[in-house]
Amino acid sequence: MLRAVSGHLHRSLAATAIDRAALGSVGAGAVAARRFAAEADSSVVEIKDSKHFDDLVTNEPRKLAVVDFTAVWCGPCRVIAPVYAALSKAHPEVTFTKVDIDNADVRSVVEKHQVTGVPTFVFYKGGKQINSFTGVQRDKLLQLIEQHK
């Protein structure tokens, strides 16, 4: 059974400018709209199937690739999504992807990575997995991108 993992949620919310602005004096609907807009204005590519995953991630000889295993029903995933989207814009030299764990076409990718909680972030470089973690850990996400880019 998969679980949503909040990790360091309180620190992530406090440290995220997007969320601070969104949580100001507006209602939840406006927060959701801003998060959706942030995701729409990103360079995150949704993986459609295992071939697409191989093309973008495992067959990439040099670039860092980050994979976000996510689910639409996952609250912590919705918290980290605008941060991930903003990082994709700030780091065009990195390939940012996401995998919807409930999409049957990517089931083999999810099983290969033994995803047991979401969000799970997996880092690849030179076609090889180099790191991973589960949970809303904004600082760790940024640190690993900076370390491996």
- Could you list the active site residues? 74, 77
Question: Do the strands 95-100 and 120-125 form a parallel or antiparallel pair, or are they unpaired?
Answer: unpaired
Element (H, E) at 14: helix 9-15
Q: How far is CA 134 from CA 28, 32, 123, in A?
A: 26, 23, 12
SS3 21: helix
At position 17, the amino acid (one-letter code) is: A
129 neighbors 123 (Cβ within 8 angstroms): yes
